[in-house]
Amino acid sequence: MAGYTPMIQQYLKIKAQYKDCFLFFRLGDFYEMFFQDALEASRELEITLTSRDGGGEERIPMCGIPYHSAENYIKNLVEKGYKVAICEQVEDPKAAKGVVKREVVQLITPGTVMEGNMLNEKENNYLASITQWTNTTFSIAYADLSTGENTTAMMNNGWQAVLSELYNRPVKEIVVDSNLADSYQNDLVEKLQLTVSYQDEVHVSPTMKPLVESLANERLVETVGRLLNYLERTQKRSLDHLKKAQLIELQQFMSLDMYSKRNLELTETIIRKGKQGSLLWVLDKTVTAMGARKLKKWMERPLLQTADIEYRFDIVDGFLQHFIERESLRELLKSVYDLERLSGRISFGNVNGRDLIQLKHSLQRIPAIKDVLRQMDHKTVQALGEALNPLDELQRLLEDSLMEDPPISITDGGLIKNGFHPKLDEYRDASQNGKKWIAELERKEKEETNIKSLKIGYNRVFGYYIEVTKANLHLLPEGKYERKQTLTNAERFITPELKEKETLILEAEEKSVELEYRLFVELRERVKGYIPKLQQLAEQISEIDVLQGYATISEQNDYRRPSFNNQNDVDIEQGRHPVIEQVMKDGTFVPNDIRMDKGTNMLLITGPNMSGKSTYMRQLALTTIMAQIGCFVPASKASLPIFDQIFTRIGAADDLVSGQSTFMVEMLEANHAITHATEQSLILLDEIGRGTSTYDGMALAQAIIEYLHEHVQAKTLFSTHYHELTSLEESLTHLKNIHVRAEEYEGNVIFLHQIQDGPADESYGIHVAKLANMPNELITRASQILQQLENKPVEATPEKENDQQLSFFVSEKQKQTQTKPHNDIVDEIKQLNIMEMTPLEAMNQLYQLQKKANRQ
């Protein structure tokens, strides 16, 4: 490093402390980047790459951006998962002896963003932390720096449960111990696309102790401590808005694994990865950013306590009964700004005058909101209004202190009202009277010199001056004016009297601006004292917003209040899929009943493709989730149990990142449900086994059905194309066949989308292909082949015996014609205890039997 210039040496020393960041190195009016940073930044930001001499043997790569437009560039980098270290000049260059002193004043990372234009206002921006204690035990913590939220939880179900928990929340960055297993770190980066950061220090500093004092579990304290230490190290400023860490008892909420959230498209669609077409898209009738974030959090954690759910139902009921008041409430809420994030910026020190005016306007709406809630003839709703604190004292402080339309900058004056501070009024009076004196002087000089074009102006270099055109110079009296500047067509002069007044005016203006800035900082500190109350108010307003949104959507879409039962019964009349009915919008969606009493734990659903089997399954899960987040449901009537977990295997998709086939993904997701479900769970399995050969698939499907029926006994919807499985109704007492009705008319299939008891008659596969506009020649040939297959004798001949694949579903005719060599395999099958086998064990056993059969 000795060969480099002192400035480059300074850069390299600072960069060594922030190796995983882009270092924005302040040089005058620019942030400059050098070496590898410059090469990567020029590519990522599409800015010009140059070079400079740094004292070394070769020129140094370099690129830069203007400091005043840095925000958009930083946003671009952070959205791509990078970190940016802001290195500022921390001393006056004029006073510096040698290289100007520079320090990193802030680290901006995906999980620590505070600037408004970098944040999605309707979504939290979580920084998370995890700590591993045993092979299956982890602790996890979340912080949203923009809102102050701070939560933590213990997890005892292994690494996959941790991934599901993180997947279900809008986490942008995760802080881990540097010794966390590489395989886990790879999962965080590749499966969840998270930025991984490291923090080994877990001891909580004295200033942060109050945030963890309510946590009794030392493991949780350490995990939260890791997060807080990372925030202190990177932000280097006040974090007073962080709330005390709240313990999340995960067992008090419905568990939704990452597969279920994805398959059910709760917050985004599988294909487009967007909100439109998801359940969130339908339910989000909130009007505040706080409410939108609250709704998303509720959807991430449906409730298990009936009393808590009924409390939400009661408020929705109250809002539904008062349409006019609810509309008034919605209009008032539209004027309430994001109190949570305003509180964060106040604490962080990057709030400006306009932010505080937004806060004032929001507080001015609270009394009216209280009045509207009181007007509703509903005790639970009225109690919501009574609990609101309008913070009158803070509202008056902001009213008395701030100009109504302050500038964005807090250093240029124009922020504080007249009458708020006597000294400021004095300075302003001196400045304004001085300017009046200047205007009077100009009028007087024009009269005395008879020069109509004479004017008094001002610039930062010369201050105030008298300007006279050259054509009028002869009119000036001698000895009174001192020449200051010569222009092409005019001369500029000063007088002792003018300079004296100039000093008074400029001193008054300068002191006025300095005092205004000081008063604003003091005001910000006073407002900071109200942050806990503002955060409580934000929590209440966001809850009111979500519940009025529930009422609004329930009225628009004819949702009804569900009830809950302790008999584990599902009884839904005229149930609908909440998203598809909105997409169709033409009233053609066909509602269906879903009934599963105490004697029915499993519905085996058959029917052709495109008939609505998957829709029927999904609508039960979505209806359940809607009910357990406190929203009314799309049905004419619904009685439901409280489900503790939902497991889904719907749709086929290869996991290309992990190199896993569709069938392996199918087996893993099915196994996850089988091993974690309880009697209070809901399982949706859509055409399990289709990812392998027909007989393998049927064998696995039957084994899974039987295992779920005998051992898990959760409410299960199982759709299949294997019509042979419908015979299981005869042997499995808690299984019931249902099918989606379709009719054939003049060679075409008509899907009626109606659920009826019993198995489907046929699959109509060729008809579906016809609807997909397959070539006529292909359709005709498929029909011929189907007819040949249906008319083909099923008995096996000795010479073809070795080509057959063993089936678990053997007809009586096949049993009679089966030849001797397979009898030992049949005996072996009879000895298998299928009820005690997992699906994977069944698959392995089937493989061994098939090998034996092929050898005979």
Nearest 5°: the CA angle 360, 362, 363 is 65
**747: helix, strand or coil:** coil
Nearest 5°: the CA angle 707, 712, 717 is 80
Residue 700: CB atoms within 10 A of its CB come to 24
Assess contact for 199 and 229: CB atoms under 8 A. Answer: yes
Assess contact for 498 and 463: CB atoms under 8 A. Answer: no
Which residues 6+ apart lie within 8 Å of 759 measured at CB?
604, 606, 723, 726, 737, 739
Amino acid at 747: G
Nearest 5°: the CA angle 10, 16, 22 is 90
Assess contact for 314 and 142: CB atoms under 8 A. Answer: no
In angstroms, the CA 203 to CA 225 distance is: 6
In angstroms, the CA 559 to CA 528 distance is: 43
The string of DSSP codes covering 112-146 is: S---GGGS-TTS--EEEEEEE-SSS-EEEEEEETT
Which residues 6+ apart lie within 8 Å of 393 measured at CB?
none
In angstroms, the CA 558 to CA 581 distance is: 12
DSSP 644: S
**104: helix, strand or coil:** strand
Tell whether 110 is in a known binding site. no
Q: Tokens in use for 756?
A: 């009826």
In angstroms, the CA 608 to CA 613 distance is: 8
In angstroms, the CA 341 to CA 358 distance is: 12
Q: Which long-range contacts (CB under 8 A, 24 or more apart) does 354-359 make?
A: 354/406, 354/408, 356/398, 356/402, 356/523, 356/524, 356/527, 357/398, 357/402, 357/404, 357/405, 357/406, 359/398, 359/527, 359/534
Burial of 653 (0-12, 13-18, 19+ CB in 10 A): exposed
Tell whether 661 is in a known binding site. no
For the four alpha carbons of 476, 481, 483 and 485, in that order, the dihedral sign comes to negative
**191: helix, strand or coil:** coil
The string of DSSP codes covering 257-278 is: -HHHHHHTTSSS-TTT-SSTTS
Tell whether 609 is in a known binding site. yes
Instruction: Tell me the sheet residues that pair with 103.
Output: 88
Tell whether 178 is in a known binding site. no
Tell whether 607 is in a known binding site. yes
Measured over all CA atoms, what is the biggest interatomic distance in the chain, rounded to whole angstroms? Answer: 136
Give CA separation, 302 vs 143, 305, 617, in Å: 20, 10, 19
Burial of 560 (0-12, 13-18, 19+ CB in 10 A): middle
Tell whether 613 is in a known binding site. yes
CA 672 to the chain's CA centroid: 25
Residue 261: closest CA among 167, 392, 192: 167
The string of DSSP codes covering 583-630 is: HH-SS----EEEEE-TT--EEEEE--TTSSHHHHHHHHHHHHHHHHTT
Angular region, 462: left φ>0, alpha ψ -120 to 50, beta rest: alpha
Assess contact for 452 and 467: CB atoms under 8 A. Answer: no
In angstroms, the CA 557 to CA 283 distance is: 10
In angstroms, the CA 614 to CA 719 distance is: 8
Residues flagged as binding site: 607-614
Residues flagged as binding site for ATP: 607-614
